[in-house]
Structure 1
């Protein structure tokens, strides 16, 4: 067995690292339920309002490192994660795309009582069971809203986790709102900010001027730091397929925090972070919509917390600081896995 130091000297993209399978083993889907469909699978989940189906797709095969991806939104889609195809296979890490209930390839019921964090937590647990993920292999990554969901899942079901990744999400919505008001807002052109605030005050979110101002003055500075015409196809498809009903109910219509009647407006788990005992990586971007200092602070509250700072990154640092993001993510997963082999 290789020592931990020899494992970490290998390139983050090397399939030899951390006991990763050979290429043929990694892409061997033989005798798996989803072999016929190339890894895609609909999973039946039970909710208080009946049974529905959610879509997942497996990429790769590694018994010790399996990563389930929780997309943002709420109401977003797995598409924002498609860049993982460029990094996880060559690292030998098995991973799963997954559209939460209400999103894209999954069922989209009309019952708004389903859009609650506790209900989503039970959905993730049912998906975990169906996919056969457990303490020996299960890494969970949540981005943005998915980070909220990942924290909630860990606080209830961490006994099933091998490792947790909270990507670009703070542990407190009120703190997020303060950061938007006190830090991000003042960075904007005062005239633009005044006009945006007036549109929000008038509850005129359908006004096309709102997005006309947001895209060049906010999104390309804090959501994804690329000119709009260069935004990657998966990101554009994710925005096009966003379930606005789920998004507005939970996140609200404003892009400057979570406000109004949004169900997540008072969400705060900062005081509960010490209860999450599993190895956890928090990821923040220097230009993020979320406060990177808060995400660094979160890592210090977690008993086995680690922080990854993407100095060039924004909210979607997996695209605009891709090298830093994936090198750090792969190293964390391999570190946790290698330590489990030596215990």
Structure 2
């Protein structure tokens, strides 16, 4: 759930340091780096929507008849690139996974139609992707991070009969609770004058003020988004940020880093009372330094009928990158435990 103007700032840094770039160059670079590691299988899947047919991009890595993981990226409007390092962990464990760009993102079609950017339509899209890929209750694991975790929960509420396991990463079940955590816990960890200035900018709706991003880039993102020096961020994360679709992101999420901007379509989303309806094996992944409250996510794991909690003590919002030592062993163990009926 990242702020678009921060992404624009990162893009400016990339362009300044690397010279001219464009979308096709970046995507080609990603394809080349992936193909040098493993055999790829790319499939453009037709999706039926109320506005007609569009195509979404998927790429299957590996093959396993009983462990297939479909990855739902965050954003909304970002891309599969946030899972770039999964290729370094899942294949050696024999786990098949599928990179997937949701409609409006990166390698998928990007229609200019805001009526498509609803939770219900994205859930229907995931179901169509599942069917096209031949995923079913005997092999289908759904992993979503941030917005992808929200989408994963919503999919489970409607279609959990198709799931073998659900993995919710770095996403709370209430956006109001997320806003409270950001403003009451994370914000006060900053110097008082910094947080006060940020709240004044938010109060005035002055999100394009460069001071807003300047403060967040120094006092928030390196602590709670990705705990690395920005100069050391993985290339796939830089490309992900460059390729974000603001038309989707801003419409659904808005601009604020401390909640959902009033008027954004996700405002007020809350499924706390529905978690008990999720009966499939469920792993909830939280991180100590996340933008999302790990205590809330641990509670979520207990609300689900068959839940488990994984804490990444050194991680933040992208814990697969800043705490892979805990993220991947925990996720892999969950998948294998469910597969062997030892969960």
Shared fold (TM-score, shorter chain, > 0.5): yes
Alignment of 1:174-323 (within 5 A): 174-323=176-325
What does residue range 1-343 of structure 1 map to in structure 2 within 5 Å? 38-339=40-341
Aligned alpha-carbon RMSD (Å): 1.2
Task: Give the ranges of 4+ consecutive aligned residues of structure 1 lying more than 3 Å apart after TM superposition.
Answer: none
- Match of 2:34? none
Superposed displacement of residue 235, structure 1:
1.0
Q: TM-score, normalised by structure 1?
A: 0.87
State the match for 1:7 in structure 2. none
Aligned pair count reads 305
TM-score with structure 2 setting the length: 0.87
Q: Deviations over 1:244-297 (max 9, x none)?
A: 111111111101121311111110111000101000000000000000000000
For residues 38 and 323 of structure 1, what CA distance do their matches in structure 2 show?
26
- Partner deviation per Cα, 1:181-235 (whole Å, 9 max, x = no partner): 1101111111211222222222222222221211121000000111111111111
Deviates more, 1:256-265 or 1:283-292: 256-265
Moved more, 147-156 or 38-47: 38-47
1:42 positional shift: 0.5
- Quote the Cα distance in structure 2 between the aligned partners of 1:298 and 1:276: 11
Unaligned runs of at least 5 residues, structure 1: 1-36
Alpha-carbon separation, structure 2, partners of 1:229 and 1:194: 28
What residue number does 1:26 align with? none
Distance between the aligned counterparts of 1:177 and 1:202, measured in 2?
17
CA distance in 2, matches of 1:181, 1:213: 15
Structure 1 range deviating more: 281-290 or 244-253 = 244-253
TM superposition shift of 1:38:
3.1
Q: Distance in 2 between matches of 1:257 and 1:91?
A: 37
More deviation in 242-251 or 113-122? Answer: 242-251
Secondary structure of 1:169 counterpart: coil
